Structure 1
Amino acid sequence: MLRVRVLVIQHDHICLPGSVGERFAERGYELAVHQVVEADRFDTPNVDTDFPDPAAFDAVVAMGAPWSAYDHDAVGSWVLPELDLLRRADAESVPVLGICFGGQLLALAHGGSVDRSATPELGWAEIDSDDDALIPSGPWFQWHYDRWQTPAKAREVARNDSSPQAFVLGRNLAVQFHPEMTSEILAGWFAAGGTKDAAAFGLDAEDVRRQTRERDVANRQRAHRLVDAFLDRVATGDEADAGR
């Protein structure tokens, strides 16, 4: 049986692949997780890391992170090499799914920009999609203070009043939200400082926990649909062909 592998770039110890990784595994992919910042360096994340060669994999998933993609003083030691990795993956036709911070890195890697958002999003938020079979409209979990400017050559697929929410460029799919989210992952985020962030944003952490628990099953199903669409449409190059 032919082995297929997905490189999961996990930027820290709390932004786990969750339902996204689960669906890749169900689709027959072996997950190779490369964690960039270990738990004991969470407060000093400007670490050195040796990224694997993306050409050795059948897909790449770039996960979220609590830092800003443009804050090179904090994370430039590995953000700049990761941008090179994403460009190499594109050159080698290796499909990439970028989630939140990972989506912002995809924007930067392909000519877009990232800056502070005037309207940060924390918690569950609605998005509007041009293609529900690829990016379902409706509520998705958000936790971001920055936003990307969509690369000129990309096709924006989804958005809301706060920011662009998804784009396709070649075999790359970027999403601003967190399809991987589960109540278990959220507990880890809150333990690592998310409760304080929620309070500063005017959110009741217990209410966000409750909403997430209530949406666990439905969000898992939507995450699986998104991964399926990524693998069946974007990773195959069909979306790039359709955009010509």
Structure 2
Amino acid sequence: MTTALFLAHEDDRDRGRVEAGSLADNTRARGFDVVVAHPGDDLPDPTSVDFVAVLGSAHAADDDSLPWLAPERAYVAAVLDAGTPVLGVCFGGQLLSRVLGGVVTRSPHPEVGFATVESTRDFIDSGPWMQWHFDHFTVPPGAELIAHNPNGAQAFVSGRNLGLQFHPEISAGSFAAWRLGWTRESEIEVERDFGIDVDDLADRIARDAENLSSRCGRLLDGFPRAVDRGLRRTARC
């Protein structure tokens, strides 16, 4: 059986597995054994897995005070050196950008909830994708921007690697796991600052679960096959 390694950033490993959402479900449905680990764990040799998915985090991808961030950056660099494809999601896309020589900074246009994305590749649907980020990445040197919106870059390819700013993995379960880390006061702040009722957003995710999972599956089917049609040259710092 082929193996996909998912790096989740919750200290609670069970919660990290839930946050892998429909991306993990779709990966299993395609015949992969999914291993979900924390970057602080003893991680496998990059040549022993078929791809690595780096998931989101409540932390910032440029916060070098995090004790596990430098080792995770080094591991992702080793994965790239081994030629194993990397799929970065939100924080993971930002981390991939950094490893490839890009920059992560505070976004002047944070995105919370569903936001429309314009894509140049058929495996990423143009339209609304789930967002929850206050930082953003630059497209790293040698990479190609393949999705964007007025707020900035949304996806890039570099060789066989794909960085995303949005969350294709969102599901009712993963969103519920996100909310475990929030207070009622923080949810009220989201409604005040972004006009989003978090309960209504949860209902929308649950109602649209089949479509969200299907779109995630199409994205997964395009990775890494579709990114091979893009730039084959990678640049790393």
TM-score (norm 2): 0.88
Alignment correspondent of 1:207: 200
Alignment correspondent of 1:84: 74
Deviations 1:59-108 (A, max 9, x none): 101011000011122x1x21111111111111111001110000000000
**Distance (whole Å) between structure 2 residues aligned to residue 27 and residue 173 of structure 1:** 19
SS at match of 2:170: coil
Residue correspondence of structure 1 range 131-146 to structure 2 within 5 A: 131=121, 133-146=122-135
CA contact (8 A) 1:120 1:146 kept: yes
CA contact (8 A) 1:100 1:175 kept: yes
User: Taking structure 1 as reference, are residues 136 and 195 closer, same or farther at Cα in structure 2, changes over 3 Å only?
Assistant: farther
> What amino acid maps onto 2:125 in structure 1?
P
**Distance (whole Å) between structure 1 residues aligned to residue 44 and residue 184 of structure 2:** 34
Deviations 1:146-172 (A, max 9, x none): 000110211010011122100000111
* Structure 2 residue corresponding to 1:4, chosen from 2, 5, 9: 2
User: Taking structure 1 as reference, are residues 242 and 151 closer, same or farther at Cα in structure 2, changes over 3 Å only?
Assistant: closer
Instruction: Say yes or no: does 1:187 pair with 2:190.
Output: no
Alignment correspondent of 2:33: 30
> What amino acid maps onto 2:4 in structure 1?
V
How many residues end up aligned between the 2 structures? 225
User: Taking structure 1 as reference, are residues 242 and 87 closer, same or farther at Cα in structure 2, changes over 3 Å only?
Assistant: closer
SS at match of 1:143: strand
Q: Which has the higher contact order (CA 8 A, sep 6+)?
A: 2
> What amino acid maps onto 1:65 in structure 2?
S
Residues 171-180 or 188-197, more deviating? 188-197
Deviations 1:99-151 (A, max 9, x none): 000000000000000010111111111111112x1211111111101000110
**Distance (whole Å) between structure 2 residues aligned to residue 196 and residue 232 of structure 1:** 43
CA contact (8 A) 2:161 2:224 kept: no
User: Taking structure 1 as reference, are residues 95 and 240 closer, same or farther at Cα in structure 2, changes over 3 Å only?
Assistant: same
CA contact (8 A) 1:53 1:85 kept: no
* Structure 2 residue corresponding to 1:226, chosen from 203, 216, 219: 219
> What amino acid maps onto 2:221 in structure 1?
D
SS at match of 1:72: coil
SS at match of 2:208: helix
Residue correspondence of structure 1 range 10-21 to structure 2 within 5 A: 10-12=8-10, 13=12, 14-15=15-16, 16-21=19-24
The percent of aligned pairs where both chains have the same amino acid is 34
User: Taking structure 1 as reference, are residues 213 and 149 closer, same or farther at Cα in structure 2, changes over 3 Å only?
Assistant: same
* Structure 1 residue corresponding to 2:45, chosen from 46, 49, 53: 53
**Distance (whole Å) between structure 1 residues aligned to residue 160 and residue 76 of structure 2:** 11
User: Taking structure 1 as reference, are residues 195 and 172 closer, same or farther at Cα in structure 2, changes over 3 Å only?
Assistant: farther
Alpha-carbon distance, 1:35 to partner: 2.4
**Distance (whole Å) between structure 2 residues aligned to residue 91 and residue 196 of structure 1:** 44
CA contact (8 A) 1:7 1:54 kept: no
> What amino acid maps onto 2:43 in structure 1?
F
Q: CA RMSD in A?
A: 1.9
Instruction: Say yes or no: does 1:97 pair with 2:97.
Output: no
User: Taking structure 1 as reference, are residues 205 and 151 closer, same or farther at Cα in structure 2, changes over 3 Å only?
Assistant: same
**Distance (whole Å) between structure 2 residues aligned to residue 24 and residue 187 of structure 1:** 21
Alpha-carbon distance, 1:19 to partner: 0.9
TM-score (norm 1): 0.86
**Distance (whole Å) between structure 2 residues aligned to residue 107 and residue 241 of structure 1:** 16
